[in-house]
Amino acid sequence: MHEMSVALEICRIAEERLGALTLPDVVTVAVDVGDDAGIDAQNLEFCLQAVLSGPPFAGAKPVLFPCPGDVLRVRYLELDDGRSTD
């Protein structure tokens, strides 16, 4: 089940992108998954849900976008900076 190691690497990339900033709440981690990437998308989503349930992500949701080719990349991180929109 290499999807767990891929999920851990996706989370490492997300943490790296956030850098030394005061960690905002990560709401969504979106990933492009190519149909030739050698990844079982359902298994990857399950693994991401497990990894994202703990700190520093505290329940962020994975969103997978199927695409053609051998693509596997973090598409975006949705953050909640705690500011009110009122």
For residue range 62-75, list pLDDT tens digits in order. Answer: 999 999 999 999 99
Domain coordinates in residue numbering, the chain: 3-80
Tokens of 80: 């909640």
DSSP assignment of 54-67 equals: STTTSSPEEEEEEE
For residue 31, the model assigns a pLDDT of 97
CATH architecture of 3-80: 2-Layer Sandwich (3.30)
- Measured CA angle at 15 (ends 11, 19), to 5 deg: 165
For residue 30, the model assigns a pLDDT of 97
What is the Cα–Cα distance from 13 to 17, expressed in whole angstroms?
A: 6
Give every residue of the chain whose pLDDT is below 50, as ranges: none
pTM: 0.86
